[in-house]
Structure 1
Amino acid sequence: MDPIATAQYGMLAASRRFEASAFRVAQMGDPSSTVDLGHEVVEQVTAKNEFSANAAVMRTADDMLGDLLDIIA
């Protein structure tokens, strides 16, 4: 399993989750909209944290690969 590829997919998923929530918030101007702002705030914060966690995984995998190459060289 490639941790960098997995983290990239996780970042993409988090980004899509955030975009979907932002789209729903933008629809709040419609009088017939039933968007729950509290739920959308939680969605956006969760997506931000997911993105950050996946970025940390990516940095850690990169650091570990660098250390491995240093040991081998």
Structure 2
Amino acid sequence: MDPIATAAYGMFQASKRFEASALRTAQMGDPEAQVDLVAETVEQIGAKTAFSANAAVVRTADEMNKALLDILA
């Protein structure tokens, strides 16, 4: 299992969650749209946190790969 690929997919999914929530938030001006601003804010914060966590996994995996290559060199 490749941690970088898994984290990249997690970043992609978090980005999609954030974008969907942002689109719903943008519809607040429509009188027929029923948008819960609090729920959308929580969703955006959660998506941002998930993206950051997955980015940290990518950075850590990269550092571990570099350390392994240094050991083997």
Q: How big is the shift at 1:49?
A: 0.1
Identity %: 70
* AA matched with 2:33: S
Structure 2 length-normalised TM = 0.99
Aligned equivalent of 1:5: 5
Aligned equivalent of 2:19: 19
* Distance (whole Å) between structure 2 residues aligned to residue 33 and residue 65 of structure 1: 48
Number of residue equivalences: 73
* Distance (whole Å) between structure 2 residues aligned to residue 4 and residue 32 of structure 1: 42
Task: After superposition, give the CA deviation of every residue in 1:28-63 in whole Å (9 maximum; x if it has no partner).
Answer: 110011110000000000000000000000000000
SS of the residue 2:25 aligns to: helix
Tell me, which stretches of 5 or more residues in structure 2 are unaligned?
A: none
* Distance (whole Å) between structure 1 residues aligned to residue 33 and residue 70 of structure 2: 56
Superposition CA RMSD, Å = 0.3
Aligned equivalent of 2:53: 53
Tell me, which stretches of 5 or more residues in structure 1 are unaligned?
A: none
Structure 1 runs (4+) greater than 6 angstroms displaced: none
